[in-house]
Amino acid sequence: MTDSVVVTFPQDEKGRPFITDALQGAAEVVYLADIDDDRTRAAALRSATVLLARNTAKELRPHEAALLDGVKLIQFINAGVDFVPLKMFSPHVPIASNGGAYAEPMAEHALAMVLAAAKRLLVEHNALIRGEFNQGKRNRSLTGGVCGILGFGGIGVATARLMRALGMKIHAINRRGASDEPTDWIGTPADLDTMLAAADVLVISTPLTPATKNWIGARELALMKPDAILANLARGEIVDEAALFAHLQAHPKFQACIDAWWIEPVRHGIFRMDFPFLTLPNVIGSPHNSASVPGTGETGLRRAVANIRRALAGEMPLYLVGPDERMM
């Protein structure tokens, strides 16, 4: 019986040949958006070896999730899947995010935001507009400092390489407390306090799970240096929103670079802040566009299909989302 990859989201004429080519004949491809008849859809899903999806809550019809108990993998195109109701699937069904798929542009974005904060670029730009020429005002050098990276997967590793090029020491946290990527120090989540106390820069690139929600709160922020720079490219909810705002107000030398917000259009339908972060001079914001560069879609497809081929070959897929990590 031929393996089949069922793609749940629409693909244009450019994307379809790319998926076929990337599979290299390992499976046939079925596009669920092309099928309207319930019975035909059900047959395709029952016979699927792998599902390639973006948001199954929108792409599957009621009760279709129950037809996927036999799949080898449900592979998402998204790096973060916290907003997808994964608990609709049986716990034994393997589910993978597209972790690290957009790592390189996101790492560049982290570097840009952190440098802008350290060099006071936005603050002094606005001062120049007011006619102030603060040539004697000190900015910061990152060389020799510690960059702490919370979540040392694809994004964390890509960020570490850029920060290391600046001469920063790399401290990292991941679940294993080990990595093939060189670090000056690495620990597990139990060692978070140690990393927070050492970090001149903290980059958050860990997935949002029940365990990481509000992971960085008032206690954790208090452990950090008063002039540290926090950059969040992952999910707003990893940081306690009220605690961060209060900390920024109380510590004007502390800076936050926020790309990932708490309420965002893609996940929640609207953009909203419960606190006026953008009124603070020690905040730099961007609209969660760190991965929005040309070729992003193609890169994401290529990396997702590579993980699918691992599953089809009987290998362990990367970036599996455990039953206890499913938010919804």
Give me the mean pLDDT over the 121-141 stretch: 97
Label residue 290 by pLDDT band (50, 70, 90): very high
Kindly give the interhelix angle for 103-118 and 121-129, rounded to the nearest 10 degrees: 50
Q: What is the pLDDT of residue 18?
A: 85
Q: What is the pLDDT of residue 151?
A: 97
Can you say whether the dihedral through the CA atoms of 256, 258, 260, 264 is positive or negative?
Answer: positive
Average confidence score pLDDT of the chain: 96
Instruction: Flag whether pLDDT at 28 surpasses 70.
Output: yes
Angle 187-242-267 from CA coordinates, rounded to 5°: 80
Q: What is the pLDDT of residue 129?
A: 98
Please give the backbone phi and psi of residue 83, each rounded to the nearest 5 degrees, phi first. -90, 0
Instruction: Flag whether pLDDT at 120 surpasses 70.
Output: yes
User: What secondary structure letter does DSSP report for 291?
Assistant: T
Q: How far apart are CA 207 and CA 222, in angstroms?
A: 23
Residue spans per domain, the chain: 4-100+295-325, 103-285
133-143 tens-digit pLDDT: 999 999 999 99
Query: What are the C-alpha distances in Å from 108 to residues 68, 112, 293?
Result: 38, 6, 11
Instruction: Flag whether pLDDT at 263 surpasses 70.
Output: yes
Give me the mean pLDDT over the 268-294 stretch: 96
Q: What is the C-alpha radius of gyration for the chain, rounded to an integer number of angstroms?
A: 22
Domains 4-100+295-325 and 103-285 share a fold: yes
Q: What is the pLDDT of residue 296?
A: 86
- Can you tell me which residue has the tokens 């973060």? 80
Instruction: Flag whether pLDDT at 177 surpasses 90.
Output: yes
- Can you tell me which residue has the tokens 């001062």? 127
Instruction: Flag whether pLDDT at 1 surpasses 70.
Output: no
Q: What is the pLDDT of residue 14?
A: 79
Q: How far apart are CA 33 and CA 14, in angstroms?
A: 16
Q: What is the pLDDT of residue 15?
A: 81
Query: What residues are annotated to the active site?
Result: 235, 264, 288
The CATH class that applies to domain 4-100+295-325 reads alpha beta
CATH number of the 103-285 domain: 3.40.50.720
Q: How far apart are CA 275 and CA 3, in angstroms?
A: 50
Sheet of 50-53: strand order equals 28-31, 4-7, 50-53, 73-76, 95-96
